[in-house]
Amino acid sequence: MPYSQIKLVSFDLDNTLYDNVPVISFAEQQSRNYLKAEFKKQNRVFDHQLFVDYRNQLVSSEKNLRDDQPSQYENLSYLRQQVLLHFCEKLENSLEIANQAFELFIKYRNIITIETHISVLLKQLEKKYILVSVTNGNCEVNKLSIGNLFKENYSPLTGYRAKPHPQMLNQIIKDFNLEASQVIHIGDRDDSDGLAAKQAGCLYYRFEPFIGGRLDIEKCKELVRNIC
């Protein structure tokens, strides 16, 4: 594969550099437990399905955005805040409760353990390439043990369109004064990471090392061999 011209490697985060499934599940549960308790205190019925339905409604409202239109709800933190405000609106102290539920989610969402083999992989690549992160999620990259390895971090939290829109990859090409062919994006999903790379004209490498909750060490070694 034509990897000899690569100067920059962009990494997706969730499920590419760590297993995000248990992280999100635990964060959701902590936020939900708090909300259940607050609803119970006020003798209100807690129905989490209403939360899910409203979140889906907001996401669906932006399905037909043009490529040049900004998105509000691709910013997953903003989306969660708006859903929580709506979900809690009939409670006393609704704003305080919604904010606390959000803060609990973000707190636990950012407790992420990076496997040693992933850290080693990134440090090997950093010797040869510029590394950046490109994520649709709301992980606070600077809180990760590997955060200092990335020169820049791109996400909808700072106003970019989410993958598969190519905006974040296009911005990387511009920011680092590169040709698209000098950038390779590494991610676990062809329908978002792969399509975004294709639309930006970048190379793409599918890297899905977490299967069934375990890290496949051989896939880490294979990635380094292929790119380095």
Question: For residue range 50-106, what is the model confidence (pLDDT) as tens digits?
Answer: 999 999 999 999 988 888 888 999 999 999 999 999 999 999 999 999 999 999 999
Question: Domains plus CATH for the chain?
Answer: 8-18+114-227 (3.40.50.1000), 22-109 (1.20.120)
pLDDT band at 4 (very low <50, low <70, confident <90, very high): confident
Torsion (CA) 29, 33, 39, 45 in degrees, nearest 10: 60
pLDDT confidence of residue 228: 85
CA end-to-end span of the chain: 12
pLDDT band at 3 (very low <50, low <70, confident <90, very high): confident
Asked if 21 and 208 touch (Cβ cutoff 8 Å), the reply is no
The percent of residues above 90 in pLDDT, for the chain, comes to 92
**Gap between the Cα atoms of 16 and 221, Å rounded:** 14
Q: What's this model's pTM, rounded to 2 decimal places? A: 0.94
Statement: residue 1 has pLDDT above 60: no
37 and 101 Cβ atoms separated by less than 8 Å: no
Per-residue model confidence (pLDDT) at position 192:
97
CA angle, 194 then 197 then 201, to 5°: 140
Average pLDDT, the chain: 96
pLDDT tens, 134-153? 999 999 999 999 999 999 99
Q: pLDDT, tens digit, for every residue of 29-40?
A: 999 999 999 999
CB 65 within 8 A of CB 72: no
Higher pLDDT, 95 or 3: 95
